[in-house]
Chains A and B, each alone.
Chain A
């Protein structure tokens, strides 16, 4: 289980003045849990993810994974970036195998395990391509496979589908649910799409900006329904989905940064 306990982050702006990016956020991600953080830009969701990944230290509070304090980046927390961070000088399969290489797994074994993961994300045929030959959606699938390779306890995903076209995006959401259902990983997923947030999370947190804090929590049932039925259209057009979507939309808009009157 990943536990965020009263996490606050203050960082220095360019002119040196302190910026309150995250304000006493507490959050538990249970084993097998799929937590989605939703919010407008500047609400601290990326700050929270960077702190979980160990890229950013906390000003106060604590983050623990299975009881161990998070004190820096590590292979037990896999990260999928907004824009894929694949290495262009390595083939697709070598990119996926990178975490295994760092761990000292032998060449044949790591290729085999990387190929297995590429099959999981449906890219086995592109194992020996280079990343720049792939489309944006395919690259993100490679990014997911790569993050899964060292068998992390949790996947941290920073708006991974934000740059994709809407049709690819829906395919990727369904693929991610499959991966989640099959591997049973904990997932922490950031998005600013309300629909995506509702469809994906078993737990949904809505964050508000300046300072970033959690303002609402929901437990949408839809991702479990989809894992059963595999009928995304039926779920997204159902009345229950639309109802919750409007409710969440109202919350998000309430905390939108207000324009100062002219």
Chain B
């Protein structure tokens, strides 16, 4: 009989074994946070250096300290007849309302476009036609049709946010695996059960990605929307500061939008992790 010899496992492992992993292509899983922080610091340092060396006129590029002072002042005393919170909440309310409308219409229409030839035929042309237009281009129409109140601002935002959600919901339906549909049907699913138990969850990762993109588009369109006779809002704050050549306040406004958009992006990613933990696993 063949000898079967098993060595006793090496009990005394060297204090620190050298940990190895497969060589990876591209960035892989190595962390990039430190590099990003260094980049941020370098930009800030460059900014400080450029303004102390008077490379650009003060009006064009106020030094960081001055922007910080302006931020403190806006934070404490407000700007343009409203507190900072009133500006931020006005913008947030517009974004949220427009997002709710875009999701409420975009998800069902996108799902329908993925499921029905008629729905795809009907909605494809108008969406493909208007979606690449810059919102500023149809801004005048919004004003002419809907006036200068909230309706035109919300509609502009909702229009800009609708397309990415509808298109991603449609792509989500197309990505549903035929096998899963067949499995559900052979287990006796009705059309509605198939929709709820298979198609909607399958499309959810794509829908959430679309929602994240649409929020980005929303923040990008905000300044345009608040060009329309606004008295509150971060976009309005920026526009009004620029009319007084208050460059430092413009920087503050930009910083606030960036911070809000970043926070939204993180929130959406967290939501994705909670709602679709299986993404990338199957």
Q: What residues make up the interface of A, taking CB atoms closer than 8 Å to B? A: 53-55, 72-75, 77-79, 81, 83, 85, 87-89, 98-99, 101-103, 130-132, 146-147, 149-150
Interface residue B50 (Cβ < 8 Å from any Cβ of A): no
Which B residues between 184 and 203 are near A, CB-CB below 8 angstroms? 184-190, 193, 197-198, 201
Asked if B188 contacts A74 (CB within 8 A), the reply is yes
Q: In the complex the two chains form, what is the Cα distance from A98 to B182 in whole Å? A: 13
Interface of A is mostly: loop
Please encode chain B, from 264 to 282, with 1 for each CB lying within 8 Å of some chain A CB and 0 for all others. 0000000000001110011
B187, A149: Cβ atoms under 8 Å? Answer: yes
Q: Would B198 and A99 count as touching, CB distance under 8 A?
A: no
Taken together as a complex, chains A and B put the C-alpha atoms of A232 and B14 apart, in Å, by 46
Cβ-based interface call for B180 (8 A): yes
Which of B185, B187, B193, B198 has the most chain A CB atoms inside 10 A of its CB?
Answer: B187
CA distance A149 to B184 in the complex (A): 12
* Closest partner residue, chain B, to A55 (CB atom): B182
User: What are 28 of the A-B contact pairs (CB < 8 Å)?
Assistant: A53-B182, A54-B185, A54-B186, A55-B185, A72-B185, A73-B182, A73-B186, A74-B185, A75-B186, A77-B186, A79-B182, A79-B186, A81-B182, A83-B179, A85-B183, A87-B197, A87-B198, A87-B201, A89-B201, A98-B184, A98-B197, A99-B187, A101-B193, A102-B184, A102-B193, A103-B188, A132-B282, A146-B187
Give the residue of B182, B187, B197, B277 whose beta carbon is less than 8 angstroms from that of A150.
Answer: B187
Q: CB within 8 A of B188: which of A85, A102, A130, A132?
A: A102
Report if B54 contacts A (CB, 8 A).
Answer: no
The answer, among B186, B198, B204, B277, for a CB contact under 8 Å with A74, is B186
- Chain B's closest residue to A88 (CB) is B278
B residues near A73, Cβ cutoff 8 Å = 182, 185-186
A224 to chain B, nearest CB (A): 28
Rounded to whole angstroms, the CA-CA distance of A61 and B187 in the bound complex is: 25
Contacts of B184 in A (CB 8 A): 98, 102
Decide: A98 near B201, CB < 8 A? Known: A81-B179, A130-B278: no
Beta-carbon contact of A150 and B282 below 8 Å: no
CB-nearest residue of chain A relative to B281? A132
Query: Nearest chain-B residue to A81 (Cβ)?
Result: B179
Nearest CB in chain B to that of A99: its residue: B187
Q: Which of B186, B201, B282: most chain A Cβ within 10 A?
A: B186
Q: Does B177 contact A (CB under 8 A)?
A: yes
CB distance from A253 to the nearest CB of B (A): 31
Cα-based distance from A97 to B99 in the complex (angstroms): 36
Beyond A74-B186, A87-B198, A130-B278, list 15 extra A-B contacts (CB 8 Å): A53-B186, A54-B186, A75-B188, A78-B187, A79-B183, A79-B186, A81-B182, A85-B182, A87-B201, A89-B204, A89-B278, A98-B197, A101-B193, A102-B187, A102-B197
| Bound: A81/B276 CA distance, A | 24
Q: Are B177 and A150 in contact (CB under 8 A)?
A: no
